[in-house]
Structure 1
Amino acid sequence: MSHSTSSTMASDQKVALLDHIIVLVPHAELKDPPKSLTNNFNITNGGRHADGKTENKLIVFKDGSYIELISFINDLPENRAGHWWGSKPYGIVDWAFTNQIDYKSNYEALIGRLADAQKGSSGAYSYATPQLGGRIRPDGVKLEWAVTFPTKKEGEDTETTRPSNLPFYCHDITPRDNRVNGETEHPCGAVGIREVLALVDDVQNDAFAGLIRASVNSDDKEQINRSGVLVGTPHGAPSVISFMTPTTDAEKDEACLHKFVLKELKFDHGSSDVSTGITFSYPFQA
């Protein structure tokens, strides 16, 4: 894709923008990241969240997206209790988007698109009303935002769960530059997240693609195969959500159990022809 097309898409407010990828790590690993990370990325201290249960560090890119390394403080079970990532194993646990409209308007548009995408089906997927959150940066700056999480109705009863195959939304109340703030020059040369790879149960591939397209408002028809959804970034080239189907027995078991698992990130190196070939997955290499 040419740079002119990339810029047009990235600035298109109709298409959701990849905001950040959440990686849950042990507290000791957050405090002292392995050399495989520190040799390739400059890591910015984030701070503690308003609920007092978690803290984070960020890997911020020039395209405005970032990787959030998060941990439950001291890995205490009581900090996991009742938290939306409390039952998650370590690894890439979630993904967030944003856009240029306010969080209340975004919520109304989201549930409308999801309902349209599920016409003729049970309509199990939707989004919960936005909830407020925040954290204090190490320098004392207070951050506030609203997050909008996906929901899935299970069966005929009223119980809902958090589905992993749909992203959540993060809208800033305080300036976004205060939240997404850090060193963007990285030794590996990465300037943005070019691709997010998800392991998907083969049977669910088309259904999940349709739901994700509805969520992020992407109607891109130029994908070379059915297994990708083109999205924007805050101020860089577009990114792609790509689906990988299982090839090994272990992957088949994982996909069968979880249906949708965020597995790997690939990076954009901008105009540079030099790529270190670095990708991001968990567990980190030693």
Structure 2
Amino acid sequence: MATSLAAVSDISHDHIVLLLDTPDFENPPAWLSENFHIIEGGTHKGGSSRNKLIILSDGTLIELLNWISTPTEFHDWAPKPTGLIDFALTSPQSAHDTYSAITQRLESGSGDGGLGVRFKQPSAGGRQRRDGQHCRWFVTKPSYSDGPNVPKPTDTFFPTTRLDTPFFCHDETPRELRVPSSDKTLTTHPCGAKGILSVEVVVPESHVEHYVKLYSAVTGAEPKTQGGFRYKPSTSVSFLLSAPNPEAMKGLEGRVGIEIHAPRDAEDEAWLKERGVGIREVRIFVPAKSEDEVDERPLDSEGIGASLVLVTEPVGR
């Protein structure tokens, strides 16, 4: 059965997962501590991981994850090196309704682009906050099989396990328990960050078209192509999303989303070789203080911080 796609999906970003080693988790580096207000999260239900949180006023968050011991949960993250490892989406619908809709799109024609992607049934998760309150949610994660268009050899394109598709997170307890975005004392950051503008995903040039089909099915959004991606590897394909709190991103309608592109430079090539297909960069919106202020600034000149970029510009530019 054919399924229609929206110009702007009602699906939105939920959170970014940034894995830190223990020293950086316990004493965050300056590129984090000087730019953001970081709060304690808690220990996950399995007991082998903990987190700290950067809450953004658009209703999203950046999760700083750290292993306490040998992972007993989140096994797909266990082999990943420190840095950006994954990202989550959410929707106004329930976890099970979202699962059903995405499954229908993936199974419609070539909905997964021949990449062997389906989603597992939603599973319950949670953590205890430092104040003793319990957050509960459902996580809906992708599963992978050897589809005809999976980049080969897999150990070259997925050297630290395959995570080239975002997962979904839906709250069972009130969302404010997990993402307290209405608390301005938590969402006012030294750098002025308001929300996630876009997540960039790097894929092999030869497989852009397959990933366009996959991400259309996952997001339910029409692909917006800038130029002819079959001929120009620097060209990007975007999927427009909503925001959990649209008021915080007012004036940026049609800008929030996911961007897929082939490697554009030597740094992208190195990223693809070392970390594999998947999340490459997070662009974070900062409202400009004047109409002529426009800037893009990585949080750090190299390393993990270079993959998070502050985008400063007037609202509605």
Equivalent position of 1:101 in the other structure:
93
How much does 1:258 deviate?
5.4
> What secondary structure, in the 3-state scheme, does the structure 1 residue paired with 2:107 have?
helix
| 2:297 is equivalent to residue 278 of structure 1 | yes
Structure 2: distance between partners of 1:271 and 1:147: 35
Tell me if structure 1 keeps the 8 A contact 2:271–2:280: no
Structure 2: distance between partners of 1:259 and 1:284: 18
Alignment of 1:1-286 (within 5 A): 14-73=9-68, 76=69, 78-79=70-71, 83-116=75-108, 118=110, 122=114, 124-154=116-146, 163-181=162-180, 183-219=186-222, 221=224, 226-236=236-246, 237=249, 238-249=255-266, 251-252=268-269, 254-255=271-272, 259-270=276-287, 272-273=289-290, 274=293, 277-280=296-299, 282-284=303-305
What runs of 5+ residues in structure 2 fail to find an aligned partner?
Answer: 1-6, 149-157, 228-234, 250-254, 307-317
Tell me if structure 2 keeps the 8 A contact 1:124–1:153: yes
Structure 2: distance between partners of 1:254 and 1:189: 28
> What secondary structure, in the 3-state scheme, does the structure 2 residue paired with 1:79 have?
coil
| Structure 1 vs Structure 2 CA RMSD | 2.8
> What secondary structure, in the 3-state scheme, does the structure 2 residue paired with 1:284 have?
helix
Structure 2: distance between partners of 1:257 and 1:30: 23
Tell me if structure 2 keeps the 8 A contact 1:132–1:146: yes
Residues 270 and 117 (structure 1 numbering): CA distance in 2 closer, same or farther, change over 3 Å? farther
Equivalent position of 1:6 in the other structure:
none
Tell me if structure 1 keeps the 8 A contact 2:200–2:260: yes
How much does 1:269 deviate?
2.0
How much does 1:272 deviate?
4.1
TM-score by length of 2: 0.75
How much does 1:231 deviate?
1.4
Structure 1: distance between partners of 2:73 and 2:180: 29
Residues 275 and 142 (structure 1 numbering): CA distance in 2 closer, same or farther, change over 3 Å? farther
Residues 215 and 163 (structure 1 numbering): CA distance in 2 closer, same or farther, change over 3 Å? farther
Range with bigger deviation, 147-156 or 29-38 = 147-156
Runs (4 or more) in structure 1 with deviation over 6 Å come to none
How much does 1:118 deviate?
1.8
Structure 2: distance between partners of 1:120 and 1:175: 32
Tell me if structure 2 keeps the 8 A contact 1:201–1:256: no
Residues 83 and 221 (structure 1 numbering): CA distance in 2 closer, same or farther, change over 3 Å? closer
- The count of residues paired between Structure 1 and Structure 2 equals 267
**Matching residue's letter, 1:279:** P
**Matching residue's letter, 1:138:** R
> What secondary structure, in the 3-state scheme, does the structure 2 residue paired with 1:22 have?
strand
Structure 1: distance between partners of 2:12 and 2:305: 26
Q: Deviations over 1:115-134 (max 9, x none)?
A: 12526975721101111100
TM-score by length of 1: 0.83
Structure 2: distance between partners of 1:104 and 1:185: 34
Residues 117 and 233 (structure 1 numbering): CA distance in 2 closer, same or farther, change over 3 Å? farther
Structure 1: distance between partners of 2:125 and 2:74: 15
> What secondary structure, in the 3-state scheme, does the structure 2 residue paired with 1:241 have?
strand
Tell me if structure 2 keeps the 8 A contact 1:17–1:99: yes
